[in-house]
Chains A and B, each alone.
Chain A
Amino acid sequence: MLDFIPQIPIADWISRLTDWITDVFAFLFNPIKNQFGDFMEWFAETLALIPPIIVIIIVAVVAFFITGKKFGLAVFSIVGLWLIYNQGAWEELMSTFALVLIASLLSVIIGVPIGILMSKSKIAETIITPILDFMQTMPAFVYLIPAVAFFSIGMVPGIFASLIFATPPTVRFTNLGIRQVSEELVEASEAFGSTGSQKLFKVELPMAKSTIMAGINQTVMLSLSMVVIASMIGAPGLGRDVLSSLQRAQVGTGFVAGMGIVILAIIIDRFTQNLNKSN
């Protein structure tokens, strides 16, 4: 009974679709792969060139001020970053950081406008919401496969996979934040004769800012987790150390690399959260 219809070749279709996209959009993917890949490498190397002591001082000073002149986060940053340096994982840390930074930046640049579109149009919201659900629930590893097809291996496919996986929170929270702006404030801006964009930039976005920032915080954290996974397709950084220790069953090395990721995650998380609060 259940076998009445033969197996639907979904896997085949997706493979063929991916092949087709790879061929047709090669003119787009290749320059991205090459130029953007070069830029990423340059960026990561430049970060690694900055003397670690300067990076640590800058991070500590910024931490001190954005937490409202408290020492907690500053001290944690100094100790944590020094520990990573001490374990000889500084270069990997900088690579991971470069990937997270660029990936989340792109996520925000793409995500906020989509979120605004969703908040303005019921139709857009109806179409985009299930797509976001799909993007977030699909196991993250699956995105690595087309990423490799499009951009081969390295940093670029890592960022591509991270974009798909990490953008949804920014989109959702932007939409939510704008929809939550009180009716009376929207009316006030309209009653005084605002145009659509005046309403958006002078009232809605400022009002939604803290909600949007909460979404961005999540996006950054998801980027970090994806960037680690992306080491499986050749993205450099702390994730690669985790992967290689896994392959060789080296518990100690694996733990050290994992600890580095945790320290980075805590610092990034507290930074983005406090940025939100201090505004």
Chain B
Amino acid sequence: MPIIKVEGLSKVFGKNVKDSLKLLDQGMKKEEILKQTGDTVGVNRASFEVEQGEVFVIMGLSGSGKSTLVRLINRLIEPTEGSVFVDGENLATMNKEDLRRVRREKLSMVFQRFALFPFRTILENAEFGLEIQGMDKEKRSAKAKESLELVGLGNYINQLPGQLSGGMQQRVGLARALANDPEVLLMDEAFSALDPLIRKDMQDELLDLQQKMQKTIIFITHDLDEALRIGDRIALMKDGSIVQIGTPEEILVSPANDYVERFVEDVDRSKVLTAEHIMKRPETVNIEKHGPRVALERMREEGISSIYVIDNNRNLKGYVTADDASAARKKEIRDLNEILKTDTPTVDRDKPMHDIFEIIHNTPVPVAVVEDGKLLGIIVRGAVIAALVGEGEVNENA
């Protein structure tokens, strides 16, 4: 069962909400509705599910409704229509008391500008959620310290937020959210106010934490690189509507429409595409059947200067070069083993392209993509460059 299930969730700001909803039903655009009723459509019929332990990223430019959407999930903003199920309970219709219970026990939020209480120490800030629940002082201090340790701030508990750098302040925000031991973390542009290097550190750290604690995270961002880096799945928003939901690869490789395509145009593909996306079908010879003569023949046919060698089970043995094969033929050597080279450059199928650059730069032969010792494909320099400039997949192996 998904831990969060959002169904037909809408928010219209304004005075003619009913009319605006009707116009939405008729498929009218956000701008037209603004003109006709004076209402602003914040979120238009959003539906998605988030699984336990997933990092679900909601991304869009400013004004796309992503911040409104996250506030609808914990009902900081009242939904106009639709439902939000957390663990099967519908937040949109529950009474105030139940809502407080769910907020205290299941949902925690991390804010863009940290939202720390300036008059409280770091420890008191981290304690806030527990204090609200009425936990006694000793117990909540222990828990808050634990979660401050987790984000690496165990030594700062008596400082005030103003004495800490932005990155550290946001760690406190994270610790405050984690202290509650919530099931879901809502992170509203949590790293957007940090400078790029710190932001990257925080992303790594968040991923580490997530792996340790297996929290479900709903992460809002306007930064596509960030979304691709940390998201298991990404929902792209435009004008209040979700345009596409998919894994980072799906979004990049098969954009649902022009908008998404334009969005992903500028992305640094090298961080997202993996070996699998750019490898091509390899030319091979079988060490158990073929000799240097066949190898040489194949290389001549394909116009290549080296060829990979496999056995009957497609296990990668090594490669032979055209020069060696030609010399061996002259000496009438029949066995490929005698000229086999085994210093094969190999990568796993999910190696990011970014990491392949260096390998491919330092080797004269194409890079082999392997899984459990079996040859899946090869990567030639041309494919890397083609993928970088956005010519899509060159995967002929699929």
CB distance from B389 to the nearest CB of A (A): 41
Total A-B Cβ pairs within 8 A: 59
A188 to B108, CA, bound (A): 9
Q: Does any Cβ of B come within 8 Å of A13's Cβ? A: no
Complex contact A202–B131 (CB within 8 A): yes
Within 8 A of B (CB), among A173-215: 182, 184-185, 187-195, 198, 202-203, 206-207, 209
Q: Does any Cβ of A come within 8 Å of B241's Cβ? A: no
- What residues of B have a CB within 8 angstroms of the CB of A207 in the complex? 117-119
Within 8 A of A (CB), among B102-154: 102-104, 107-109, 111-113, 115, 117-119, 128-129, 131-133
- What residues of B have a CB within 8 angstroms of the CB of A198 in the complex? 132
Complex contact B131–A191 (CB within 8 A): no
Complex contact A193–B111 (CB within 8 A): no
The verdict on A192 contacting B108 (CB below 8 Å), with A187-B76, A202-B131 known, is: yes
Within 8 A of A (CB), among B304-354: none
A185 to B125, CA, bound (A): 12
CB distance from B182 to the nearest CB of A (A): 10
A189 to B117, CA, bound (A): 10
Chain A: interface size category: 10 to 19
Q: Does any Cβ of A come within 8 Å of B216's Cβ? A: no
CB distance from A206 to the nearest CB of B (A): 5
- What residues of B have a CB within 8 angstroms of the CB of A193 in the complex? 100-104, 129, 132-133
CB distance from B86 to the nearest CB of A (A): 13
Q: Does any Cβ of A come within 8 Å of B64's Cβ? A: no
Q: Interface of chain B, helix or strand or loop or mixed?
A: mixed
A182 to B118, CA, bound (A): 11
B108 interface neighbour in A187, A191, A203, Cβ under 8 Å: A191
- What residues of B have a CB within 8 angstroms of the CB of A189 in the complex? 128, 132
Q: Interface of chain A, helix or strand or loop or mixed?
A: helix
Complex contact A185–B132 (CB within 8 A): no
CB distance from A204 to the nearest CB of B (A): 11
CB distance from A105 to the nearest CB of B (A): 24
- What residues of A have a CB within 8 angstroms of the CB of B132 in the complex? 189, 192-194, 198, 202
CB closest residue in chain A, given B77? A187
Within 8 A of A (CB), among B235-286: none
Q: Does any Cβ of A come within 8 Å of B74's Cβ? A: yes
CB distance from B188 to the nearest CB of A (A): 9
B115 interface neighbour in A187, A195, A206, Cβ under 8 Å: A187
Q: Does any Cβ of A come within 8 Å of B20's Cβ? A: no
B binding-site residues for A, Cβ under 8 Å: 71, 74, 76, 100-104, 107-109, 111-113, 115, 117-119, 128-129, 131-133, 176, 180, 186
Q: What 10 A-B pairs come out closest when comparing CB atoms? A: A193-B104, A193-B103, A188-B115, A191-B109, A184-B115, A192-B129, A193-B100, A206-B119, A194-B132, A184-B111
Q: 8 additional contacts, CB 8 Å, given A184-B112, A191-B74?
A: A187-B76, A190-B103, A191-B103, A192-B180, A194-B100, A202-B132, A207-B117, A207-B119
